[in-house]
Amino acid sequence: MIEAKGLTKRYGDSHAVQDLTFTVRPGVVTGFLGPNGAGKSTTMRMILGLDAPTRGSVSVNGKPYAAHRTPLREVGALLEARAVHPGRSAYHHLLALAQSNGIPRSRVREVIDAVGLDGVANRRAGRFSLGMQQRLGIATALLGDPRTLILDEPLNGLDTEGIRWVRGLLRDLAAEGRTVFVSSHLMTEMALTADHVVVIGRGRLIADTSLDRLVADSGHGSLEEAFLELTAGAAEFRTATTRGDDR
């Protein structure tokens, strides 16, 4: 479970996130939605202790991320798929993380197979396509078999088959009772994947509700229309597959 209470991040005179309170519960896929510049990436960074809140607090499974003795076993995260040494193979990238976190070597092969990288595990990550890097990032998130998954735009760079695979993976993980928190700008995919949505605009909470309720209350027939109505005037929202900077 992820619990944010009054979460605020200020840079100079501007707020990236302001008084944000929400709960991400286990057993469902929660989509994290907002226009570019809404504060989604900043919020995820604060959840993982990479940015310190100006005010408020956020916990994962009852504790701040940094307070967990074995964080990779509690929280698996993908924030930036390209955050891998380009000269290191996928296998050795995962092995280094496993050995430094007390995770068995056998788990490395398990996640490589799970994400479909078994044929390129010994190839340098710097030669990977964006889709392959996304798969490696997901493997990294799964490495500790964590109770909570935080994934920032995991569908970027994936082909149709890869998107379907991620969709099924997220739903399977939630069905196992895990907490799954995933941001995306692909409204169609969120409509097919998410059970619950947290929507923010200009760093503030706009909606925290089930996907079905969001669409029904809007009076529109699709998540995209409901979203655009909620965030009207907040920022330009892109539905194309090219990712913008939402920090």
Task: Please count the helices (runs of H) and the strands (runs of E) in the chain.
Answer: 9, 9
If one counts every other C-beta atom within 10 angstroms of the C-beta of residue 48, the result is 17
How many Cα neighbours within 13 Å face the side chain of 154? 33
3-state secondary structure at position 60: strand
- pLDDT reported for residue 211: 86
- pLDDT reported for residue 243: 38
If one counts every other C-beta atom within 10 angstroms of the C-beta of residue 160, the result is 7
Q: Residues 54-82: pLDDT tens digits?
A: 999 999 999 999 999 999 999 999 998 88
Looking at the chain, the whole-number percentage of residues with pLDDT higher than 70 is: 91
More confident residue, 31 or 225: 31
- pLDDT reported for residue 60: 97
* Residue 114: its H or E element: helix 105-114
| pTM, two decimal places | 0.88
Please state, in angstroms and rounded to a whole number, the distance separating the CA atoms of residues 164 and 30: 17
Least reliable range by pLDDT among 134-143, 147-156, 162-171, 215-224? 215-224
Q: Residues 215-228: pLDDT tens digits?
A: 787 776 677 777 77
Please state, in angstroms and rounded to a whole number, the distance separating the CA atoms of residues 54 and 52: 6
Q: Where are the domains of the chain?
A: 24-52+149-241, 70-146
Please state, in angstroms and rounded to a whole number, the distance separating the CA atoms of residues 197 and 24: 9
- pLDDT reported for residue 5: 97
Whether residue 214 has pLDDT greater than 90: no
Whether residue 242 has pLDDT greater than 50: no
Please state, in angstroms and rounded to a whole number, the distance separating the CA atoms of residues 28 and 106: 28
More confident residue, 211 or 180: 180
Q: What is the mean predicted confidence (pLDDT) over 147-170?
A: 92
Q: Which residues make beta-bridge pairs with 166?
A: none
Fold annotation for 24-52+149-241: Rossmann fold (3.40.50)
Whether residue 238 has pLDDT greater than 60: no
Is 141:77 a contact under the CB 8 Å cutoff? yes
Q: Where does the pLDDT of residue 233 fall: very low under 50, low under 70, confident under 90, or very high at 90 and above?
A: very low
If one counts every other C-beta atom within 10 angstroms of the C-beta of residue 188, the result is 13
- pLDDT reported for residue 241: 31
Listed residue (223, 228, 189, 229) closest to 209, CA to CA = 223
